[in-house]
């Protein structure tokens, strides 16, 4: 009989009935998204023996779950906005014209995040959800005024031009006041900057870009839709 000293774990953890080992690490000087990409590349290139698997947990897992929930909330919010506009316009097609500004807004958000070198995280995703309801106001103003002029007996061409002239001032006023209120948040520093700056940056960049494009895009789509 021989006694041998071996190293064994003090505790054995199980996840879904299978033995597991957790590896922890802290992040210093880098954002969670960049670290997530590096870890995923490392896991994909790492050869595992049969019966073993690797999965991400901690803040990375929570971030992925929150992003899925955020996408679901964004889809639901767009659907509810469509229903409200369909009831208000008494039309199923015109809300689609209004919602054509959403892809343009996303382009503006991506440009704004790229120019400010900010990561697309949960806070910026929340800002995008808030932005959906804000950017649609400009298109609603244009289409509502165009419909009023058409009912009054104006031609389609004149209605579109006059609607732009009548609503350009309130559109710019709404945009500039919203952007002005977000600038202090975008320039915030300290502990709250990580939460406030992404939301404000998304709203500012998306709203400015979509406003400039909306003044050209919405009248053009409305004219094509009316001809169809």
| Top mean-pLDDT range of 62-66, 116-120, 181-185 | 181-185
Dig out the tokens for 97 from the structure: 């014209």
Secondary structure element (H or E) that encloses residue 18, with its range: strand 18-20
Which range is most confident: 10-14, 41-45, 62-66, 163-167?
163-167
Check pLDDT > 80 for residue 176: yes
Quote the CA–CA distance of 131 and 12 in Å, as a whole number: 47
List the structure tokens of 213. 């494009």
Q: How many CA atoms lie within 13 A of 131 on its CB side?
A: 31
Q: What is the DSSP string of 64-95?
A: HHHHHHHHHHHHHHHHHHHHHHHHHHT-SSHH
**What's the gap between Cα 6 and its chain centre?**
53
Third-level CATH fold of 59-227: Multidrug efflux transporter AcrB transmembrane fold (1.20.1640)
pLDDT at 50 over 80: no
Q: Provide the pLDDT for residue 132.
A: 80
Query: Residue 50 phi/psi, 5° resolution?
Result: -65, 140
Q: How far apart are CA 189 and CA 204, in angstroms?
A: 17
> Residues 3-12: what's their mean pLDDT?
76
Q: How confident is the model at residue 120 (pLDDT cuts 50, 70, 90)?
A: confident
More confident residue, 206 or 57: 206
For residue 15, what are the β-bridge partners? 18
Report residue 154: phi and psi, to 5°: -75, 155
pLDDT attached to residue 32:
65
Question: For 145, what's the count of Cα atoms within 13 Å in the CB-facing half-sphere?
Answer: 21
| Alpha-carbon gap, residue 95 to 84, rounded angstroms | 9
Using the predicted structure, report yes or no on whether residue 200 has a pLDDT greater than 80. Answer: yes
């Amino acid at each position: 009989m021989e006694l041998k000293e071996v190293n064994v774990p003090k505790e054995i953890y199980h996840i879904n009935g299978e033995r597991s080992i957790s590896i922890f690490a802290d992040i210093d000087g880098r954002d969670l998204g960049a670290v997530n990409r590096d870890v995923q590349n490392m896991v994909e290139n790492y050869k595992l023996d049969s019966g073993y698997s690797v999965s991400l947990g901690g803040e990375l897992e929570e971030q992925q779950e929150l992003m899925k929930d955020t996408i679901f909330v964004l889809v639901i919010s767009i659907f509810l906005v469509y229903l409200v506009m369909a009831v208000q316009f008494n039309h199923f097609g015109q809300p689609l014209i209004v919602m054509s500004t959403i892809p343009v807004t996303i382009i503006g958000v991506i440009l704004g995040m790229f120019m400010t070198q900010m990561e697309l995280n949960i806070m910026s995703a929340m800002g995008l959800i808030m932005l959906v309801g804000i950017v649609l106001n400009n298109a609603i103003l244009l289409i509502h005024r165009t419909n009023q002029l058409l009912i009054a007996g104006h031609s389609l061409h004149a209605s579109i031009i006059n609607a732009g002239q009548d609503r350009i001032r309130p559109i710019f006023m709404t945009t500039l006041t919203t952007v002005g209120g977000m600038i202090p948040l975008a320039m915030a520093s300290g502990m709250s900057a990580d939460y406030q700056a992404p939301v404000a940056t998304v709203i500012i960049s998306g709203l400015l870009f979509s406003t400039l494009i909306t003044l050209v895009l919405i009248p053009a789509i409305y004219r094509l839709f009316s001809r169809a």
